[in-house]
């Protein structure tokens, strides 16, 4: 066997050209930053990408309705009360026809609605355009969500980093404060805010400002405790960098994945919290609309006019699902253990 290997013909091997040798040793993978690599992995998650585009469309429509709302969301017209959905000349599900006493009738003709006037998602019991009110309510819900995001970033991140960095007695005292705050139920805090202030966005925002940032603070503290003893932080301290510079240049960029993922879970939680408060009557006050108040109004007439509840419920469900799918996708994208 050894003799056969030694007696190979001369043309069994070919000399390697210099250019081919360089190509074989070249690094084929492109050089990517952490965020570019995370975006590359996020794009592979189809559900997260679709959710991102759905949320962009919803946010653009909700914010754009400030200037391009189909109608005034609070304008009442009792003559046009409880009109079913209709688009153009009408088609299945949007024909403008209703079942009255077992007979299908043209509700728009009975109400004397002029030709060319129609309501895409119908009207409520006061004749208000349901589409305009859903857009307005979505804008209110998103506003509350971004208020929660603001407090998560301003209070939660700073509190968690400060507690984790200094540790010891400072950390112990700060964590006991968190335990006291978190022991008070959110609903009790909201009721106290309503007693002090009027029901509305401000009282909900104040309740979120008091309790909504606790989870973020605990997550950031845990990550800070883990990172502050790592080599790159010790090197920065040895070189004499200030605590503020270390926090901004070294800790915060390495905490960005944890912060972004938690924010994506905070937003749907805040939206559902506002919708729940408005549904039980201690959130957004009339005549303003939110997804919770629209669900409350639709719930009362669900057996006879189900569309008044289905549409706001569908919007709320889509927003919640989209944010949660996007959060799952971001968690996988920022986690180096899931590299593709």
Region of 102 on the Ramachandran plot (φ > 0 left; ψ -120 to 50 alpha; else beta): left
Residue-wise pLDDT tens digits, 225-269: 888 888 888 888 888 888 788 888 888 888 888 888 888 888 888
pLDDT at residue 19 in the model = 55
Sort 17 into a burial class: Cβ within 10 Å, 0-12 / 13-18 / 19+: exposed
Q: Which segment, 96-100, 102-106, 122-126, is predicted with the most confidence on average?
A: 122-126
Contact 217, 178 (CB under 8 A): yes
Mean local confidence (pLDDT), 199-206: 82
Q: Residue 76: its pLDDT value, please? A: 86
Higher pLDDT, 207 or 53: 53
> Of the candidates 102, 50, 112, 105, which has an alpha carbon nearest to the alpha carbon of residue 81?
112
Largest CA distance in the chain: 104
Q: Cα–Cα distance between 304 and 203 in angstroms, integer? A: 34
Average pLDDT over residues 29-53: 81
Instruction: Report whether pLDDT(23) > 60.
Output: no
Q: Is the pTM of this model over 0.85?
A: no
Would you state the pLDDT for residue 57? Answer: 94
pLDDT band at 30 (very low <50, low <70, confident <90, very high): low
Examine the pLDDT at 51 and tell me if it is beyond 80: yes
pLDDT mean over 296-324 = 89
d(CA 102, CA 97): 12
Q: Mean of the pLDDT values across residues 101-118?
A: 79
What was the pLDDT predicted at 34? 67
> What is the mean pLDDT of the segment spanning 13-41?
64
User: Taken in order 141, 284, 129, 99, is the CA torsion positive or negative?
Assistant: positive
Angle between helices 214-227 and 158-166 (to 10 degrees): 40
Closest CA to 273 of 181, 197, 210: 210
- Report how far residue 334's alpha carbon sits from residue 329's, in angstroms, rounded to the nearest whole number: 9
The pLDDT mean for the chain works out to 82
Angle between helices 186-196 and 201-211 (to 10 degrees): 140
pLDDT at 13: 61
Supply the DSSP string of 265-310, one letter for each residue.
Answer: HHHHHHHHHHHHHHHTTSSSPTTS--HHHHHHHHHHTTTT-THHHH
Question: Tell me, what's the pLDDT at 168?
Answer: 85
Q: Note the pLDDT of residue 340.
A: 47
The pLDDT value recorded for residue 50 is 93
């Amino acid at each position: 066997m050894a003799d056969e290997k030694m007696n190979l013909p001369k043309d069994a091997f070919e000399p390697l050209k210099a250019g081919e040798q360089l190509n074989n040793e070249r690094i084929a993978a492109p050089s990517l930053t952490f965020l570019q690599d995370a975006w590359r992995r996020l794009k592979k998650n189809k559900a997260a990408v679709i959710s991102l585009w759905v949320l962009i469309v919803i946010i653009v429509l909700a914010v754009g309705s400030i200037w391009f709302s189909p109608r005034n969301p609070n304008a009442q017209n009792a003559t046009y009360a409880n009109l079913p959905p209709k688009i153009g000349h009408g088609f299945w599900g949007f024909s403008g026809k209703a079942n009255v006493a077992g007979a299908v009738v043209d509700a728009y003709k009975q109400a004397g609605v002029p030709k060319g006037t129609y309501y895409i998602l119908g009207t409520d019991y006061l004749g208000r355009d349901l589409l305009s009110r859903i857009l307005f309510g979505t804008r209110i819900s998103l506003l509350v969500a971004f208020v929660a995001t603001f407090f998560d970033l301003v209070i939660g991140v700073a509190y968690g980093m400060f507690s984790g960095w200094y540790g010891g007695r400072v950390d112990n005292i700060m964590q006991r404060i968190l335990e006291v705050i978190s022991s008070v139920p959110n609903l009790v805090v909201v009721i106290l805010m309503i007693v002090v202030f009027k029901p509305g966005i401000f009282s909900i925002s104040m309740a979120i400002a008091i309790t909504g940032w606790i989870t973020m603070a605990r997550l950031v503290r845990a990550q800070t405790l883990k990172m502050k003893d790592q080599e790159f932080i010790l090197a920065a301290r040895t070189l004499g960098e200030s605590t503020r510079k270390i926090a901004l240049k070294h800790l915060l960029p390495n905490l960005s994945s944890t912060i972004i993922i938690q924010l994506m879970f905070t937003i749907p939680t805040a939206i559902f919290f506002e919708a729940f408060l408005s549904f039980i009557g201690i959130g957004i006050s009339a005549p303003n609309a939110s997804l919770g108040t629209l669900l409350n109004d639709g719930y009362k007439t669900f057996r006879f006019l189900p569309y008044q509840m289905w549409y706001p419920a569908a919007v709320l469900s889509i927003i919640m699902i989209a944010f949660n799918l996007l959060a799952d996708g971001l968690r996988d994208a920022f986690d180096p253990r899931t590299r593709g």
